[in-house]
Every structure is written in structure tokens, then in C-alpha cells.
Structure 1
């Protein structure tokens, strides 16, 4: 073999190693960029959460500074409690759907390490009621039942809002009542936004943790 051919042969033997190193370098850079992107998203989420928390306190203070009647305070509490409970179920549904997506190829459905009390209760109840049903059918029913609960809390909030509006015709100060209702709805909207960003953080934390745990094991 001539010197030229020998050099080519040696280069070809080294090529896979060079290629592997380049590939590894690209993968590392991609992972770093991905982590930085996730970090930026998380920082933005936390900044938004902080802003919404400040707004939450401001709206509560603004509401209690108004000269409202006890019945209006009670209505506000019913509305806010209903929206908060509604959001709790929405969170569980979203996390459950994400969990099903991640575990779609698995034959069993065990919610290890995830706290979904309402979903779990519905799932177990349906499992006992329909023992011949497939797991897939029960999960679909579970989501449908949970969505009914979301709608139930929405109706409670809406009903209480309508009740407040109905008192406007005989209220001593209709303009004040309108301001009270507006503040209640402002806080409701802020609460929904805040919980939506909170859900983003929950999903990221739960499924990134599980992914990293699986990689470690």
C-alpha cells in the first residue's frame, strides 16, 4: 500500500470517531440551548405569576374598601370559591390528560406519585361500577365526569353573579353595586389567569422530574 493510500486508510479509520465527537458536540449544544430556553420560559412564568399575585392582593383590598353589604360579600366569596374549585378540577384534568399521553404505550394505568384526588376518586368509583369496562373507556368516562364538575362550579359562579345583578333595580346605590360586581369579576379573571400559569409550572415540574428520574434509573 502506498503512502497516499495508507494516509487515506488511516483517515477513514479515524472518521467515525471524528463524526461521533461532532455529533456529541451538537447534541450537547442542543441540550444546553433547550435547557436555557426552558429556563427563560420558567423565569417569564414566575415573573407573570408575581405580577398576578400583586394584582390579586390589590383587587382584594379594593373590594373590601368598597362599602358593600354583607350579602354582597357572601356572594363574592361564593363566586371566588367556586372559581377556585373549578380551577382545581381543571388542573387535575390537564395533568391526567398529559399523564395519559406520556403513558399511552403502557398496558397499566397507575397514578404513582401524582396527587389527583378528584380524578382518582372518580376513576375508582367508575372502576367498581363497571367492572367489565376497558381501562380506556373508564379513563374517558373519568375525564367526562370531571368536566361535568367544572361545569357545575361554573354554573354556581354564574348563578351568584346573576343574583347580584338582579338586586340592581332596588339597590340604594346602583353605581356602587356595578363597581362591586366589576371588582368581583376582575378578581375572578385574575384568579383564572394566575391558576393557568400555576398549571404550567405544575406540568413542567411533574413531567420533567419523572423524565429525569427515568433517565437517572
Structure 2
């Protein structure tokens, strides 16, 4: 009996893994052909040849799906950020914050559409009935900690949390694309203006 249960569990795990891969492959094909925004969850289910219920049991929305598509890349990004902060731990906090912002902006350039999809469904400030986005939560905590270092205060101080939230808003895809396409700023010009506006005297 136990062996039968184990075999059933293995089969379910294998089926779940296969469905996940089919979903990710289908979503990536559709996103590359059409962009992220126009593609619906139902289209992804049809392309993956699975039922909509199967799709929604794994991903509640397109944001979660986009996050899964770039999860490995995000893990590498945060490892790079941690390594940068460690290597430059003796630098002024403003300079360190500018350094990790440069890493994130480079990442955004490479994964612009998928990041927009990630941002679409969740953020640290969404209502309580929605799960916070882990990418944005980790960024917010890192920003608040560095703002705290700048002012010699706790990261949880309202001013540091507010500045971190403002920085997150400025980094969102919609604002970033507007600054690039309408204001005609390069990525480096955008970074310089962002730092100048939010922490102009912090040794950046």
C-alpha cells in the first residue's frame, strides 16, 4: 500500500513538473511573439494545452508566471547585489545604493517586458488580500537599510521606508520607459538624475 502511495506521489510530482514546464514554454513563446501585456492567462492555457484550472492552481495571475520565468535570473541579480555591497562595505551608503541601482537598471534593460509583467500584479503596498511581490519586497528592504545607514537610523523608520517606496516607484517599468523614450535619458543619465533627486548629499 505504501509503495502504491509513493508511486502515485511520484507520478503527481512528475505531472506537475511537466505542466509547469509546458506553461512556462507556452508563456515565453506568446510573450516573445506578442509582448507580455496583450497576452491573457486563457491564451497561455490554450497554448500550453492544459485547462485554465490547472494554470490558475499554479499561477494566480500573470505576475506570478512572469516571476517564475525570471526567477533564476533574479536570484543571480540579488547575489550580484549582495556581492557588490560586501565588496564596497567601506564606501559611503549613497555610493553603495547607487551601485546596486546600476545593477538593477542593467537587469531591467535585459528583462524589461517580463519585469513589467512581474510588477503588474503585486507590490509591497498592495491590499492585504494580495501577496506581496518577493522581488519588490527584497529591493525595498535593501533600499530602506541603506537609507537608514545614510541617516544613522533604523531601516524601519518611516522616512527610510518612504524613501525606499519612492525609489521603487521611480524604478517601475512605466516610469523608466517614459524617461527613456519621452525624456530621452540614457540609462546612466536616468541613474544620475534619480540619485540626485533622492539622495543628493549622501556621498554618491
Which protein has greater RCO, CA pairs closer than 8 Å, 6+ apart? 1
TM-score (norm. length: structure 1): 0.30
Choose between structure 1 and 2: higher helix proportion. 1
Which has more radius of gyration?
A: 1
